[in-house]
Structure formats: structure tokens, C-alpha cells
């Protein structure tokens, strides 16, 4: 960055502007690349988490089905009804979670055909397993009111999934949000550099006044508006150099913040 800064300050204004733009685009591309990499890694972690969560739920459901079967074989109908109720509660909770997850993916333009089909198949499997468990109990118990809420939850999950369509162009990154985040980073750095430049100007104000006074004493006939023209030009160059230095100094930390 120091090398690039020296090159910028040695160029004419038009060339310097182009070079600053090139540097900005370079860091923007680097920032976006890191964001996409981070999003991809997050998706991999979420996929692993989803697999483990699904395996855990499946194991618990299988355990409840086995307990239900054992209670029925032992003629313990009251225990069997309790296991069926717990089975319905856990099945409904898993179905609702899957539906909400699919809706969120669709909202974020991340719902692929594969993910939607997987959610539909999983819901179908959950519903079928619960129906099979209900069929093992007497009709009066299998259709009891205490199961209505679970059955309604399964129905609502099915409806939510059926209304969804795969995203047209699934993306792991929201490009508009990515551009907005980078623009906000630039805004914060520009504001920081502006405050730093103002502070530097305040600190230099007193020495400059003394320098102007001495220059007036040495060149009383070349002053324009009370300040020598060559002094004003020098100050403008110094101000421009400080501004460019501040911009490039801020760009140097973009990758770290990203």
C-alpha cells in the first residue's frame, strides 16, 4: 500500500483518480471473495448440523415407536397412548421446523430443487410413520382429541411446503446485501479519514499562521488576499496529498474488517 500510495501521489490528478479506483475495485473483489468463501463454509457447517439434528430426531422417534410397540405387546394401552402422544408432539415439531427452514431458504433465494424435494420426502416419511403408529392403537384412541393439534401441525407443514417453488437462481450470497455492506465499510472509512484530516488541519493551523506571517514579511508584494500565492498552492497540494493518503490508508484495513 505504501508503494501504491507513492505512485498515486506522483501522478497527475486524472491518473491518480484512475489508480485509486483500481485499488478500490481490487479490495472490493477481495472482500466479496472472502464473503462468498465464508458463506460457503457456513452452508457446509449448516449441512453437517442439519444431518446430525435429523439423525438425532430420527433416533428419538424410532425409540418412541419401539416403546409404543412394546407397550402394545404387553397390553399396556394407557402407556401406549402416552407414547403415541409424545410421538405426535415430536413429529409435529420436526415437521414445523422443516417447513420453516424451507420457507426461510426460499425467502433468501437459497431453495434448490434438491433441498425442496428432500424436505417433501422427509415430511412424507414423518407423516407415514405417525399414521402407521396410530393404526396400531384402537380407533377410539388413535383418533382422540389430544392428537388433533399434532395432526393439524403436520397438515400446515405440508401446505407450507407445497406452496414453495425452487429459487430461480439459487445463490449462497445476497449480492445486493454484499454491495451494501461494502459501501457501508467505505462510508465509515471515509468518515474516519475526514475526521482525521480535520484534526490534522487543526493541529497545523497555528504553525501555518506563523509561516504565513513570516512569508508576508519576506514577500510583501506577492500576497493575494493577504497570503502569498505560492503558499496557498503548497497548502492545497499538502491537503490533496493528505486526503489521498487517508483514503489509501483506510483501504488497507478492508480485508481485515471483511
Q: How far apart are CA 230 and CA 256, in angstroms?
A: 41
pLDDT tens string, the chain, 258 residues long: the values are 455 655 665 665 556 667 777 777 888 888 888 888 888 888 888 888 888 998 999 999 999 999 999 998 898 888 888 999 999 999 999 999 999 999 988 887 788 888 889 899 999 999 999 999 888 887 766 566 668 888 899 999 999 999 988 887 655 566 777 778 878 887 887 788 788 888 877 777 666 665 665 565 555 554 444 444 444 444 444 444 455 555 555 554 444 444
State residue 246's pLDDT score: 56
Q: Are 102 and 160 in contact (CB under 8 A)?
A: yes
Burial of 154 (0-12, 13-18, 19+ CB in 10 A): buried
State residue 212's pLDDT score: 61
State residue 40's pLDDT score: 81
- Give the number of residues written for the chain: 258
Q: Are 96 and 159 in contact (CB under 8 A)?
A: no
State residue 224's pLDDT score: 44
| CA torsion through residues 15, 19, 24, 26, sign | positive
Q: How far apart are CA 89 and CA 83, in angstroms?
A: 10
Quick one: which of 163, 174, 178, 39 has its CA closest to 102?
163
Neighbours of 245 (CB within 10 A): 18
Contacts of 243 (CB under 8 A, 6+ apart): 193, 197
State residue 140's pLDDT score: 62
State residue 68's pLDDT score: 92
Q: Are 116 and 103 in contact (CB under 8 A)?
A: no
State residue 15's pLDDT score: 65
Amino acid at each position: 500500500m505504501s508503494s501504491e500510495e507513492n505512485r498515486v501521489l506522483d501522478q497527475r490528478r486524472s491518473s491518480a483518480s484512475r489508480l485509486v479506483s483500481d485499488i478500490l475495485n481490487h479490495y472490493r473483489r477481495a472482500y466479496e471473495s472472502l464473503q462468498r468463501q465464508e458463506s460457503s463454509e457456513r452452508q457446509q457447517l449448516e449441512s453437517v448440523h442439519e444431518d446430525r439434528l435429523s439423525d438425532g430426531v430420527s433416533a428419538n422417534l424410532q425409540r418412541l415407536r419401539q416403546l409404543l410397540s412394546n407397550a402394545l405387546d404387553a397390553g399396556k394401552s394407557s402407556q401406549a397412548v402416552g407414547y403415541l402422544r409424545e410421538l405426535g408432539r415430536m413429529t409435529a415439531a420436526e415437521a414445523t421446523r422443516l417447513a420453516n427452514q424451507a420457507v426461510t431458504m426460499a425467502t433468501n433465494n437459497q431453495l434448490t430443487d434438491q433441498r425442496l424435494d428432500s424436505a417433501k420426502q422427509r415430511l412424507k416419511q414423518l407423516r407415514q410413520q405417525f399414521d402407521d403408529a396410530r393404526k396400531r392403537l384402537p380407533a377410539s384412541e388413535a383418533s382422540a382429541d389430544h392428537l388433533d393439534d399434532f395432526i393439524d401441525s403436520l397438515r400446515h407443514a405440508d401446505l407450507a411446503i407445497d406452496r414453495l417453488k425452487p429459487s430461480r437462481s439459487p445463490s449462497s450470497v445476497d449480492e445486493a446485501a454484499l454491495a451494501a455492506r461494502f459501501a457501508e465499510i467505505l462510508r465509515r472509512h471515509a468518515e474516519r479519514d475526514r475526521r482525521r484530516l480535520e484534526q490534522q488541519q487543526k493541529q497545523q493551523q497555528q504553525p501555518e499562521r506563523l509561516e504565513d506571517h513570516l512569508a508576508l514579511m519576506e514577500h510583501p508584494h506577492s500576497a493575494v488576499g493577504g497570503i502569498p500565492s505560492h503558499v496557498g498552492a503548497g497548502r492545497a497540494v499538502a491537503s490533496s496529498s493528505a486526503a489521498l493518503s487517508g483514503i489509501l490508508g483506510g483501504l488497507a484495513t478492508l480485508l481485515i474488517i471483511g
